[in-house]
Amino acid sequence: MAASPNLSIVVPCYNEAEVLPETLRRLEALLVELQARGRISTASSIFFIDDGSRDDTWPMIAQAVDSGSPVVGVRLSRNRGHQVALIAGLEAADGDAVISIDADLQDDVSAIEQMLEKFEQGADIVYGVRRSRDGDSLFKLGSAKAFYRLLSMLGVETVSDHADFRLLSRRAVNALAEYQEVNLYLRGIIPLLGFRSETVFYDRHERFAGQSKYPLRRMVGLGLNAITSFSILPLRLISAIGFAVSLATLVLGAWILVGALTHAQLVPGWASTVLPIYFLGGVQLIGIGIIGEYVGKLYLESKRRPRYFIDRIHRRIPDASGSGTTVAR
C-alpha cells in the first residue's frame, strides 16, 4: 500500500487578522480529519505567507505555531503582492502535493479532499473552478466573461472561472520554480507546464471577514499583466491600426478630391487638417502606450532582481520527545 502523501496548504495573507482565526480553525480541522482517515501524512502542514501585513496577521501566525498547530509561518520582508506571496509559499512548501487557497475562505475548503482524489489518480495539476457566478453583479459577470474571451482571442491559455485555488504535485511545483519572471501571472503560467490536469468544481462563498484585497484597480492591473505577459498580439494590432489609418487617409484624400472636382461646398482645409490630426494623435498615443508597457516589462525582467526576500520562518521541528521545538529564523 502506497504511503499517504504529505500535503502542504499554502495561504497568502495580507492584513487578514479578522479572518485568520477562522481560516486556521477550518484548515486545521480538515488536516486532522484527513490524517485520522489515513488520507494524508501526519507531517502535513499549513503554510501561512505573510505578505508584509500591517495588522496582527504575523503575531497570530506565530502564536498558532507556538501553540502546536500544524502551521509554518513565512514572513516576507515587505509587501510584494499576492502573486509573489503565492510563489514564495509554493517554493517554501515541502509537501508531495501543494494546495494554494486564499485566506478569505471564499474558496470551499471541503473541495480539497476532491483535489486529493484527483491527485491520487495521477493528476499533477487540479484546478478549483467556480460552479457558477450567481452572486456576482452584472458588471463583474460581464467583465469576467469579456476578460476570458479576450485572453482566448489573444492565444493565452487559461482556465475560465479559476482563480488561485489549485493543487500542484511536487514535480509541477519544481517545474514552476524554473519560471523566473518578475511580472507573475500564475493563472497563465500553470497551463504552460503541460502536465496532466483535472478540474474540481465548487461553490464560491462570500468573504468571511475583512475587506477584499482586489479592488477594481488591482483587477485591471492584473488583467493588463496577463495580456502583456503572454501575448504580442497588441503590438501586431498597432501595425494593423497603422495600415487602417493609411487606408482611411487615402479614402479621405479621394473624398476631398471628388469634392473639389464637383465644386462641393467644403470649408477650405477643414477635412484635410482637423480629422487627421485628432485621429492620428489618438492612434499614436495608444501605440506609444502599448509599446511602453512591453518595454517596461523588458526593463524589469532584464535587471533580474529577486522577486522577494524572506524576513523570517517560524515553525516547529520535532525534538527527541516528539513535542516539537519552535524555531524562528
Q: What is the CATH number of the domain that holds 79?
A: 3.90.550.10
In a domain, 48, yes or no: yes
Whether 222 is in a domain gets the answer no
- Does a structural domain hold residue 163? yes
**Are 183 and 239 members of one domain?**
no
Using DSSP bridges, classify how beta strands 162-169 and 125-130 pair: parallel, antiparallel or unpaired: antiparallel
How do the pLDDT tens digits run along the chain, 329 residues long? 467 899 999 999 999 999 999 999 999 999 999 999 999 999 999 999 999 999 999 999 999 999 888 999 999 999 988 889 999 999 999 999 999 999 988 888 999 999 999 999 999 999 999 887 666 666 666 776 777 677 777 667 778 778 889 999 999 999 999 988 877 788 888 988 989 999 999 988 776 565 655 555 666 666 666 666 666 667 667 767 766 776 776 677 677 677 667 766 666 666 667 667 767 777 777 777 777 777 777 766 677 778 889 999 998 876 655 556 666 66
Q: Which residue has the cell 482611411?
A: 248
Distance of CA 251 to the CA centre of its chain: 45
Same domain, 173 and 265: no
Q: Nearest 5°: phi and psi at 327?
A: -125, 130
**Residues 129, 91: one domain?**
yes
The answer to whether residues 15 and 124 belong to one domain is: yes
CA distances from 130 to 108, 244, 286, 301 (A): 10, 41, 35, 33
Q: What is the pTM of this model?
A: 0.76
Query: Could you give the angle at the alpha carbon of 15 between the alpha carbons of 12 and 19, nearest 5°?
Result: 80
Kindly state whether residue 218 falls inside one of the protein's structural domains. no
**Total domain count, the chain:** 2
In Å, how far from its chain's centre is CA 134?
22
Q: Quick check: is 269 in a domain?
A: yes
Tell me, yes or no, whether 93 and 179 share the same domain.
yes
CA gap 145, 49 in Å, rounded: 30
Which domain does 261 fall in, by range? 233-303
Whether residue 150 lies inside any domain: the answer is: yes
Could you tell me which residues come within 8 angstroms of residue 107 by beta carbon, excluding any fewer than 6 positions away?
101, 128, 163, 165, 202, 204, 205
Residue 219 domain-assigned?
no
